[in-house]
Amino acid sequence: MTGSAIGFESLGEETRIAELPVEGEVPGWLGGALLRTGPARFEVGERSLSHWFDGLAMLHRFGFADGRVSYANRFLEGRAYRAAEETGAISYSEFATDPCRSVFKRAMSLFQPRFSDNGNVSLVKLGERFAAMTETPLPVEFDPETLAAAGVAWDVPGELTTAHPHLDRDGGGMLNYAAKLGPRNRYRFFRLGPESGAVPEVIASTPTREPAYMHSFGLTERWIVLAEFPYVVNPLALALSGRPYIENYRWKPALGTRFTLLDRSGGEVLGPFETDACFGFHHVNAYEDGGTVVADVCTFDDPAIVESLYLGNLRNGAAIPAPALTRFTIDPASGEIASERLIDDPIDLPRIDYGRCNERPYRYVWGAGTDGGGFFDRIVRGDVVARTSTTWSEPDCWPGEPVFVSRPDASGEGDGVLLSVVLDGATSTSFLLVLDAATLAEIGRARVPHHIPFGFHGQYAAV
């Protein structure tokens, strides 16, 4: 198999490599590790998983010391993975793959839900703990050195959540979302302290009849920014329909896209503020500008992107829709909301200079891009002030999310490097790419002797 399809083939080998060969150089000031999660096994027993989002999670660790790069990988050994290993069957519902269950067992799942802990979407550091996350309420703690799993990391006050929490600057903990499903469905936002054993505190909530699919949310210094795209679900269908999780959602464009603002400290709720229907996974950033709230989101015209990411489509080289960086400006006083596209280049899997700019005005965003003709094939640097963009690309190469790492003595926003795991179609292997974040000029690359399946998100940490 050639081309980008290699990125959707299973990787079964777990390994530790003390030093990877480096071309160019890796900055000596990089002294931590790039930790990533993503799907790596797409078959269980005789059955194939259906969707890119379903693959069993594998952790990857690129360690840095004095310009050298080490590498290790290990499956995330949560209960979903252990059950697959022990039974040779899919035991837990994934995003688009469901176990074969009787009507009785589906009904019982209303009262005893079998959530998967297949944390293949993103990673977070909370205090001194690291956890792999997906959209179910079971984050899995793991050791950042050995990558060994250590059980469920903390409680989540709901049945659905996001794998994109925000840092709580004041308390050092995190803020996240959960949907509480039942006779009265509610969106909940909660704060969790950094200490082990902390109990989540619900700080704001609002009711909903049909919860929207929620992959991330925005945050300003005062407001939680909730974007409800009109891709919604009847919660009862999740348990009784017999369909995989995402196939219960319905596109209802007549609802429009609705933004709601929830006060982080007092719980006050403003909105919803309605605009044209669209769909998106990733908020880029949000901030307050005088009396208005600005929310930048990577958007699509509709949720066709979900269908395009089924493995059968991806392995056959099907195109994925091109994402647009869209700015929504909300005026709570008038109730008006405006939207505009910020840059021409399509971009998703976005990263910003998070520690400096999250919740605040910013200028630069980095992400992966595609023109809609295939899978992500370039790295994009967007300047949302100048409304311009630049790109990095290389023939037969498919880069993943570019993680920004600030220099220790950074002079301003965007002073640092980007780290991206790139699939090299010419060799059917992957490499870690190091780019200058300001220019996208290559600094160096470290080659891995095998392919790394396409993943989603990661974190650089000084561990």
Is the per-residue pLDDT at 374 higher than 90? no
CA dist., res. 462 & res. 168, Å (int): 19
Q: What is the per-residue pLDDT for 371?
A: 81
pLDDT computed for residue 108 by the predictor:
43
Specify whether the CB–CB gap between 135 and 215 falls below 8 A. yes
Strands 160-161 vs 174-180: parallel, antiparallel or unpaired? antiparallel
**CATH of range 3-461; options 3.40.50.620, 2.30.30.30, 2.130.10.10, 3.30.1200.10:** 2.130.10.10
pLDDT at 3: 82
Q: How far is CA 462 from the centre of its chain?
A: 21
By the 8 A CB rule, do 359 and 221 touch?
yes
- The pLDDT assigned to 104 comes to 41
* Tens-digit pLDDT profile for residues 180-208: 998 899 999 999 999 988 899 999 999 99
pLDDT value of residue 2: 54
**Of residues 267 and 343, which shows the higher confidence score?**
343
From the list 350, 359, 450, the residue with the least C-alpha distance to 402 is: 350
User: What pLDDT shows up at residue 106?
Assistant: 47
Let me know: does 435 contact 381? Beta carbons within 8 Å.
Answer: no
Average pLDDT for residues 397-408, to the nearest whole number? Answer: 97
Give the residue among 326, 328, 327, 308 at the shortest CA–CA distance from 316: 308
Residue 318 has pLDDT above 60, yes or no: yes
Asked if 365 and 382 touch (Cβ cutoff 8 Å), the reply is yes
Where in the chain are the domains?
3-461
Confidence of residue 114 (pLDDT cuts 50, 70, 90): low
Per-residue pLDDT band for 111 (boundaries 50, 70, 90) equals very low
pLDDT at residue 171 in the model: 84
Going across the sheet that includes 269-275, the strands are 218-219, 223-228, 257-263, 269-275
In the predicted structure, residue 357 carries a pLDDT above the cut 90: yes
pLDDT surpassing 90 at residue 210: yes
Range from 40-54, 191-205, 238-252, 339-353 carrying the lowest mean pLDDT: 238-252
pLDDT at residue 1 tops 60? no
Q: What is the pLDDT of residue 170?
A: 85
pLDDT digits (tens, 9 = 90+) for 119-171: 999 999 999 999 999 999 999 999 999 999 999 999 999 999 999 999 998 88
Strands across the sheet with 279-289, in order? Answer: 279-289, 292-300, 324-331, 336-341
> Using H for helix, E for strand and C for coil, what is the string for the chain?
CCHHHHHHCCCCCCCEECCCCEEECCCCCCCCEEEEEEEEECEECCEECCEHHHCEEEEEEEEEECCEEEEEEEECCCHHHHHHHHHCCCCCCCCCCCCCCCHHHHHHCCCCCCCCCCCCCEEEEECCEEEEECCCCCCEEECCCCCCEEEECCCCCCCEECCCCEECCCCCCEEEEEEECCCCCEEEEEEECCCCCCCCEEEEEEECCCCECCCCCEECCCEEEEEECCEECCHHHHHHCCCCHHHHCEECHHHCEEEEEEECCCCCEEEEEEECCCEEEEEEEEEEECCEEEEEEEEECCCHHHHHCEHHHHHCCCCCCCCEEEEEEEECCCCEEEEEECCCCCCEEEECCHHHHCCCCCCEEEEEECCCCCCCCEEEEEECCCCEEEEECCCCEEECCCEEEECCCCCCCCCEEEEEEEEECCCCEEEEEEEECCCCCEEEEEEECCCCCCCCCEEEECC
What is the rounded average pLDDT of the residues 348-367?
Answer: 97
pLDDT for res 196: 87
Q: Stretch 44-52: mean pLDDT, rounded? A: 95
Cβ distance 201 to 223 under 8 Å? no
Percent of the chain with pLDDT over 70: 96
Q: At a CB cut-off of 8 Å and minimum separation 6, what does 298 contact? A: 280, 281, 282, 284, 323, 324, 325, 326, 347, 348, 350, 367
Joined together, the tokens standing for residue 1 give 């198999």
Q: Is the pLDDT of residue 112 over 50?
A: no
Average pLDDT score, the chain: 94
pLDDT of residue 110: 43
Of residues 20 and 99, more confidence is placed in 20
Give me the mean pLDDT over the 71-80 stretch.
97
